[in-house]
Amino acid sequence: MNTVTANELKTRGITSLEEGLSEQPELMITVRGKEKYVVLKLEQYHYLREMELEAALLECKQDVASGKVIQESAEAHVQRVFKQ
């Protein structure tokens, strides 16, 4: 993964990000020599977000298939939640 320092980002601005992201979809920003932030191309962000949602959907489907769900009214749900 390409890296850019916070100081370089401060002095060169968006140009340093554009150059760092020209070959890879992710760029690490370091602050005082330590990895602190990650910048993603928008397409990479959307891809990762979609994968996160797909994983959540799969987990829900597995919970339904294994019976780890409760079907109840809103009122019953509120009562159950507040009793815990």
Q: What is the mean pLDDT of each run of 10 residues along the chain (84 residues)?
A: 96 96 96 97 97 98 95 94 86
58 and 29 assigned to the same domain: no
All residues at 6 or more sequence positions from 63 whose CB lies less than 8 Å from its CB, including other chains: 69
Kind and range of the H or E element at 7? helix 6-12
48 and 27 assigned to the same domain: no
pLDDT at residue 55 in the model: 98
79 and 49 assigned to the same domain: yes
- Domain housing 24: 2-40
Number of domains in the chain: 2
Give the global pTM: 0.72
